[in-house]
């Protein structure tokens, strides 16, 4: 709801007089709070039902976290706009405020992200990594009551909830490259609704949209998804976009990195270039290992 409210406020500022009614749709990803994300076989568990409501005309547009949006949408839908990006980094929340390097061996860190698990194993192989589910505030509560010694979360999510005082440490983007689309919102609407598309276009942020195009094309090239430990971070301005992609082995010991920079209007080409570079370096072998392990 918070990210929806952010979008609604932007619409009201850029299109005075436009009325927006919020409608909450519970998804299968919201209902199942126990199964680790990597163990859920279906794709799009957080957006599928919501997007179907847009297709059916029950709602006019939907607000998603970009990292939950599949690279191929329903034929009747489009990403109408991408508002300005929030923080991209991951942060550590620990029971006693310890930084990652100070957590003792054997301490339990909760995450259901295969990417974060691999990154953790790379930098702190003697910590225990266990699945954790629930909303951001629920995960923080689980750490505070001692179910876990720490957890890793997206900074943007904590910032939206006003929970930055719970952060023990902002993790290095070099050691913990984020998931593609982290910190980015996607507003999805029907392609045929031209009037609404014009309204939504006003709240789009061009550099963020270029970053999203580059990161999503990288995901598409690698056939990525929730089960693939792919880190991707693009940085764009009005003229150029730079994209760095990383892929990790299951134990975190192997890491492949590729980087490309180019004109901002070639963001998709840049995403494709980074994906192809990772494939040339052996990403497919690592990717298939993960798919086999969790199929």
**Cα–Cα separations (whole angstroms), residue 37 to 6, 76, 179, 213, 286:** 26, 27, 14, 24, 20
CB environment 8-37: b (16+ within 10 A), e (fewer): bebbeeeeeeeeeeeeeeebebeeeeeebb
Q: Note whether 262 and 269 are within 8 A (CB).
A: yes
Q: Note whether 122 and 247 are within 8 A (CB).
A: no
Q: Note whether 68 and 47 are within 8 A (CB).
A: yes
Hey, which residues are catalytic here? 68
Dist CA 180 CA 224 (whole Å): 10
Q: Note whether 274 and 259 are within 8 A (CB).
A: yes
Dist CA 9 CA 18 (whole Å): 11
Spatial strand order of the sheet with 128-130 comes to: 128-130, 108-110, 150-154, 90-94, 169-170
The closest alpha carbon to 90, from 219, 233, 228, 205, belongs to: 233
> What is the DSSP secondary-structure string of 161-202?
HT-GGG-SEEPPTTTSPPPTTTT-EEEEEETT-HHHHHHHHT
């Amino acid at each position: 709801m918070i990210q929806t409210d952010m979008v609604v406020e932007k619409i009201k500022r850029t299109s005075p007089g436009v009325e927006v009614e919020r409608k909450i749709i519970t998804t299968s990803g919201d209902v199942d709070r126990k199964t680790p994300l990597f163990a859920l076989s279906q794709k799009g568990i957080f957006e599928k039902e919501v997007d179907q409501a847009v297709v059916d005309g029950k709602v006019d547009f939907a607000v998603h976290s970009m990292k939950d949006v599949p690279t191929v949408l329903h034929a009747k839908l489009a990403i109408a706009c991408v508002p300005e990006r929030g923080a991209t980094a991951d942060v550590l929340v620990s029971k006693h405020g310890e930084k990652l390097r100070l957590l003792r061996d054997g301490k339990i860190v909760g995450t259901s992200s295969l990417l974060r698990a691999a990154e953790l194993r790379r930098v702190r192989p003697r910590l225990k990594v266990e699945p954790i589910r629930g909303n951001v505030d629920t995960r923080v509560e689980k750490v505070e009551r001692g179910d876990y010694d720490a957890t890793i979360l997206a900074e943007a999510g904590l910032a939206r909830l006003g929970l930055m005082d719970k952060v023990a440490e902002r993790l290095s983007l070099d050691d913990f490259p984020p998931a593609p689309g982290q910190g980015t919102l996607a507003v999805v609407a029907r392609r045929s609704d031209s009037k609404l598309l014009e309204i939504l276009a006003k709240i789009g942020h061009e550099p963020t949209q270029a970053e999203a195009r580059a990161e999503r094309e990288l995901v598409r090239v690698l056939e990525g998804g929730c089960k693939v430990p792919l880190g991707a971070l693009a940085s764009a301005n009005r003229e150029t976009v730079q994209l760095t992609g990383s892929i990790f082995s299951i134990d975190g010991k192997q890491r492949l990195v590729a980087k490309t920079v180019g004109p901002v209007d070639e963001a998709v080409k840049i995403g494709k270039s980074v994906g192809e570079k990772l494939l040339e370096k052996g990403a497919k072998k690592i990717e298939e290992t993960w798919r086999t392990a969790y199929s």
